[in-house]
Amino acid sequence: MDLSKIKLRTIRLKPAAFITVLVVVLMTVNIIKAQNVVSSKEGLDPKAKGIIIISSLTAQGEIPELRKQLGGGLDAGLSVNEIKEVLVHTYAYCGFPRSIRGLQTFMQVIEERKSRGINDNMGKEASPVSDDSNKYERGKKILGELTGAPQPEQPSGYGAFAPAIDTFLKEHLFADIFERDVLTYGQRELVTISVISAIGQAEPMLKSHLSISLRTGWSPAQLKEFVTVIAPTIGKQKTAVANTVLNEVLSSNK
């Protein structure tokens, strides 16, 4: 075929028609841009924000405010069993006294709401764990999944210095607790970074769990929002520390 003999036809539009086409094109481009902005700014949902605030207040023993926020968490869509699981999970990072005090407060909140005719969604119970293999190895495997790195055969650092704590960590925290499916790994990490940020003076662990939070599905934008959400409950100094540690984590994960 002789391409030189092909005549190209120029489509001529009347001014009015040209303007109409141009407007349609511009509207389409703007819609696409708007969709991209929405997707790139997808933030934390109300349930996630409730987990952050409840975990922070529990860790600090701020009972009057916790009482209000427990009701807020239920109103945001968290089930009774999800909030109970959040409060149970906090004990691994801030101790039994604060965790149990949080559970006692939650019991009161539920009763108060019942007296007002509010019947909250109980949600699902934890499924039975059918795996009866070695619990230490199960916990070590879960920790490896969370960190993205196979765990060494022999503990090192504080685990070698105090082997009992390594055993408790693997068997109880990462097997007994993380195997409970009421909360996802991502939600559990949200509890964890909230408690660690609230108690303060634990930057190495905060850094580690912020990295794990990225691996469990939280985006950099969502973790930045996490700092914004928790800020009113922990004050300026701890917020500044959390923000600094997060920036270090995000820089090293680029």
**Distance separating alpha carbons of residues 124 and 127, to the nearest angstrom:** 8
The rounded Cα 201 to chain-centroid distance in angstroms is 21
Q: How far apart are CA 146 and CA 22, in angstroms?
A: 51
- In this prediction, residues 54-69 reach a mean pLDDT of 98
Choice between 131 and 176, residue whose per-residue pLDDT is larger: 176
Res 129: pLDDT: 87
pLDDT of residue 40: 35
pLDDT at 54: 98
Q: For residue 79, give both structure tokens.
A: 């089930």
Q: Tell me, what's the pLDDT at 254?
A: 79
- Looking at the chain, the whole-number percentage of residues with pLDDT higher than 70 is 84
pLDDT, average across residues 197-224: 97
**Which tokens belong to 205?**
């662990």
Tell me the average pLDDT across 18-36.
Answer: 34
Mean predicted confidence (pLDDT) in 151-180: 94
What pLDDT does residue 151 have? 87
Q: Is residue 66 within 8 Å of residue 57, measured between CB atoms?
A: yes
pLDDT at residue 29, rounded to an integer: 34
Mean pLDDT of the chain: 87
5: pLDDT strictly greater than 70 = no
Helices and strands per DSSP (H, E), number in the chain: 11, 0
Tell me the pLDDT band of 132, cut-offs 50, 70 and 90.
Answer: confident
The pLDDT, as a whole number, for residue 253 is 87
pTM assigned to the model: 0.82
In this prediction, residue 34 carries a pLDDT of 30
Helix (H, G, I), strand (E, B) or coil at 131: coil
The position carrying tokens 């764990």 is 129
Q: What is the pLDDT of residues 145-161, one digit of tens each?
A: 999 988 888 999 999 99
